[in-house]
């Protein structure tokens, strides 16, 4: 009786002969590549910095990984209650000499919804060792809007 799966053949030959295996391989490759490295409308995948947002009482701290960028490459602004980080990362490559590359370049745009209204006059940003750090304080108006509600049993 013949085996349903022939393990002696290389996986690439099996995928070439079986359209289902080839389609599944492509599906999983597309899924993980698009989740880890977004593809833009023009079909190019670009640089997409990782961001952490931390709140401490009346403060918000945002950290973004921007390795290889300088402060001239980044634009930060507040739009309503969203922090917007725009920039461009350029990598110079010699087309003839590289064998494999994982570094990404291109324009990026991140919008971060802030957990509360911040004081626009008390925002500090610094870029050190490839990490952009932004510190913001809760706006005085937002503090006044907060009201603790007691629950009765």
Q: What are phi and psi of 35, to 5 degrees?
A: -75, -40
pTM > 0.85: no
Quick one: pLDDT at residue 3?
44
**How many structural domains does the chain have?**
2
Residues 33 and 55 both lie in one domain: no
Residue 109 to residues 13, 17, 86, 125: CA-CA distances in angstroms? 41, 42, 5, 17
13 is in which domain, residue-wise? 8-37
Residue 27 lies in a domain: yes
Q: What is the CATH number of the domain that holds 111?
A: 2.60.40.790
Element at 140 (helix H, strand E) = helix 140-145
Residue 152 lies in a domain: no
First to last CA, the chain: 73
Residues 89 and 33 both lie in one domain: no
**143 C-beta neighbours (distance < 10 Å), count:** 13
Contact 131, 66 (CB under 8 A): yes
What tens digit of pLDDT does each residue of 93-152 get? Answer: 666 676 666 667 778 889 999 998 999 999 999 999 999 999 999 988 876 666 778 899
């Amino acid at each position: 009786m013949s085996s349903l799966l022939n393990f002696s053949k290389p996986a690439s030959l099996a995928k070439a002969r079986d359209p289902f295996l080839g389609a599944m391989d492509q599906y999983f490759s597309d899924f993980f590549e698009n989740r880890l490295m977004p593809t833009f409308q023009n079909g190019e995948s670009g640089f997409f910095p990782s961001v952490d947002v931390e709140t401490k009482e009346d403060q918000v701290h945002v950290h973004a990984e921007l390795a290889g960028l300088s402060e001239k490459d980044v634009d930060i602004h507040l739009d309503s209650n969203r922090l917007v980080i725009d920039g461009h990362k350029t990598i110079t490559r010699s087309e003839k000499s590289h064998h494999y590359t994982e570094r990404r370049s291109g324009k990026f745009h991140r919008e971060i919804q802030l957990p509360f209204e911040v004081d626009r006059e008390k925002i500090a940003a610094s870029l050190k060792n490839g990490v952009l750090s932004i510190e913001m304080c809760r706006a005085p108006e937002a503090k006044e809007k907060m009201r603790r509600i007691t629950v009765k049993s």
